[in-house]
Structure 1
Amino acid sequence: MLAGVSLSAEQAERAIGEALDGNASEGLVAAFLVALKLKGESAGELAGGARAMRARARAVDLNGGNVLDTAGTGGDGAGTFNISTGAALIAAAAGVAVAKHGNRAVSGRVGAADVLERMGVRIELEPQGLKRCLASAGACFIFAPAYHPALARWAALRRMLGTRTLFNLIAPLSNPAFPRRQLLGVADPRLFRPIAEALAALGVERAMVVHGLDGLDEISLGDSTRVAELERGDIREYQIKPEDFGIARERPQALFAADAAQATAMLRAALANGRGPAQDVLALNGGAAIYVGGRASSLAEGVRMAREIIAAGRALEVVERMRRASHESSPLGAAG
């Protein structure tokens, strides 16, 4: 790897598997992760690492995998509120079955779990609880640490390294529901195409990988966005800009949230039809989620549908149904 040679998917799967099983020293794993990052992770390494994670996950059958996940790799440093979480709620309101996979804050970011918990949703649920939420609300939240126990042994090392590693990149590729549809944001332009190719290798049927040219791991409000659209193995690349959808540009700073409380307030206000940049960026990303989820025939139609859903308060209704269903379900460790 130090010579710039990538591992095959099989080699990466074995190496990450050994790490997840505790068969490698902390020093060796740290060196491996840093070497991968310096070289630049390949599609094969991403797919192989994700397969290792998936094989050790606590699998959960949700709609036979016919679900959508929305996520970002993180690492953009913008500190925006939880756009991908809002996009997931909007997609669910449009009738897309959503299994959002996420965590609490990592490296200072506000995690999806932090925001949903503040909105009253119980986040640590057994598989039956996830199924109840999906049936009642059209959406459920899979708390990553509970379904990836093998990753816990490396939490301290990841904090110590203090930088994005392969583990951050394969986490959004390792939803234990094995979703067939994904909207995935990428902050590092080097990873834009490899992530799309990894999704294809993992059998994802339809996906959009997005990278804002201003560095956001979302569809950007402040610049054009690169899109890699995956459809049954074929990848098509193009660019979009806010003006394509009648939306004015705005600097990323307008979407900044200092902490979980502010992020939650911004998301709730935007979903309650609060006009402004937060609602605009949710319309863009929520529209993409609706499109990838198969409820719109074009991205433009998805954005229009997202606007209507926000105006009618239907995404907040999804939150309320999730809240009720989650509290009617057994928390983790209490099932049986």
Structure 2
Amino acid sequence: MSEIDAAGSWPQVISQLLAGKDLSASHAGAAMRSVLSGEATPSQITAFIVALRAKGETEIELEGMLAEVRRAAERVFLPEQISLGALDIVGTGGDHSHSVNVSTMAGLVVAGAKIPVCKHGSRASSSKSGAADVLEALGVAIELDGIGVVKCVEETGFGFCFAQRFHPAFRFTGPSRREIGVPTVFNLLGPMANPAQISFMVVGVGDPLAANVMAKAITTRGVKRAWVVHGHGSMDELSLSGPCPVVEVDSGKMREFEINAASLGLAHADVAAVRGGSPKDNAKIFRDLLDGEKGPVRNIVALNAAAGIVVAGKADDMSQGLEIAFDSIDSGAARDVLDELIRVSVDAAKQMAQ
């Protein structure tokens, strides 16, 4: 019996999606099992993710697929006292803004504010530089096992879960995702598929219609509090160019509000002002920021770090969160986290190789 049999067959699933009909959680889960087991062909995977994207993913479908993604993953077991305060700050990607790696940089700033960060990310699929790419360019050893990730979080306050390492079954989706070159359901599932149990999340979405769907699906993830943010200018993080809608999930309850960088005293800047380049380029930009360079990149990184600081409960509002974020940068705390992360991760990688 094949995995897809629980949903009928691939032609049935794809026909249902093309007709604009939603899948049940169990049928969406069966389709995902077929994908992750390597049973589905590349053509079936491509047809599935394109038809699903064209129809629009529902929270029920995401819940069914996320359960299978997490079931197939290798887990990271953070100590409970760290897990209870741990944050992930991540974007869905696929916004084609080609910005610097804002969420990765912001995560290191948050860690500099003494909030444990366990970030889940991957290499770029539709941009020049993903989280894994820029961290690697900075000198971080990214392909650590669970023990190595925990060691990094414990000793530096920041750990990186490389998606390809902890979700090996994602290798079956890579060719289809790269060839079609547009955001798919995996852009939505990725941020929710952190192999570590975290308590707080800031998730950026480039598609405003995905915000509520993501927020509802996150309620099944077991997090205490999360913000799903959409940046003005269609960025998948809080931006500097205008009001940014936010959907908050707090203990299962949802509310919506806006964050405007201008009202927080940050200068207006368009997407072009925070555009990045190759992983090496983005690594240099981040090093310059840590060395005191002012400007839009510093502001957008601090803005998104502030969101993480508020969500994790260390600040009462965004103004206070910004103060803490800027202090993390200006005091050298964020730089210290990065330097220690490089040292500890490289050491952990050497231990893995023994």
TM-score, reference length from structure 1: 0.95
Which deviates more from structure 2 when the two are superposed, residues 149-158 or residues 231-240? Answer: 149-158
Of the three residues 239, 244, 247, the one matched with 2:258 is 239
Deviations 1:248-269 (A, max 9, x none): 1111101011211221111221
Q: Which amino acid aligns with 1:239?
A: E
**Residues 94, 187 of structure 2: 8 Å contact kept:** no
What secondary structure is seen at the aligned counterpart in 2 of 1:201?
coil
Q: Name the counterpart of 2:73.
A: 57
Whether 2:35 is the aligned partner of 1:19: answer yes
Q: Which amino acid aligns with 1:292?
A: V
Whether 2:54 is the aligned partner of 1:38: answer yes
Q: Name the counterpart of 1:298.
A: 317
Gapped regions of structure 2 (runs ≥ 5) = 1-16
Q: Name the counterpart of 2:6.
A: none
**Post-superposition offset of 1:104:** 1.7
Of the three residues 203, 207, 211, the one matched with 2:230 is 211
**Residues 95, 295 of structure 1: 8 Å contact kept:** no
What secondary structure is seen at the aligned counterpart in 2 of 1:71?
strand
Of the three residues 77, 85, 92, the one matched with 2:111 is 92
**Post-superposition offset of 1:271:** 2.5
How far apart, in 1, do the equivalents of 2:195 and 2:341 lie?
19
**Post-superposition offset of 1:28:** 2.0
**Post-superposition offset of 1:109:** 3.0
Whether 2:305 is the aligned partner of 1:286: answer yes
Alignment of 1:165-204 (within 5 A): 165-204=184-223
**Post-superposition offset of 1:242:** 0.9
Q: Name the counterpart of 1:3.
A: 19
Q: Which amino acid aligns with 1:182?
A: M
**Residues 116, 157 of structure 2: 8 Å contact kept:** yes
How far apart, in 2, do the equivalents of 1:334 and 1:95 lie?
30
**Post-superposition offset of 1:2:** 2.1
**Residues 210, 228 of structure 1: 8 Å contact kept:** yes
How far apart, in 2, do the equivalents of 1:52 and 1:145 lie?
16
Q: Name the counterpart of 2:163.
A: 144
Q: Which amino acid aligns with 2:227?
A: M
**Post-superposition offset of 1:331:** 5.2
Of the three residues 119, 129, 132, the one matched with 1:113 is 132
How far apart, in 2, do the equivalents of 1:19 and 1:260 lie?
30
- Alignment RMSD: 1.5
**Post-superposition offset of 1:332:** 8.9
How far apart, in 2, do the equivalents of 1:148 and 1:80 lie?
26
Q: How many residues align?
A: 335
How far apart, in 2, do the equivalents of 1:31 and 1:228 lie?
31
Identity of aligned residues (%): 38
Q: Which amino acid aligns with 1:263?
A: N
What secondary structure is seen at the aligned counterpart in 1 of 2:198?
coil
TM-score, reference length from structure 2: 0.91
Of the three residues 324, 332, 353, the one matched with 1:313 is 332
How far apart, in 2, do the equivalents of 1:74 and 1:111 lie?
9
How far apart, in 2, do the equivalents of 1:160 and 1:80 lie?
22
**Post-superposition offset of 1:299:** 2.2
What secondary structure is seen at the aligned counterpart in 1 of 2:201?
strand
Whether 2:268 is the aligned partner of 1:249: answer yes
CA change 1:7–1:178 in 2 (3 A) is farther
Deviations 1:70-108 (A, max 9, x none): 111111111100100111111111111111111122223
Deviations 1:266-308 (A, max 9, x none): 1221222211111111111010111112211222211111011
**Post-superposition offset of 1:321:** 0.9
Q: Which amino acid aligns with 1:227?
A: V
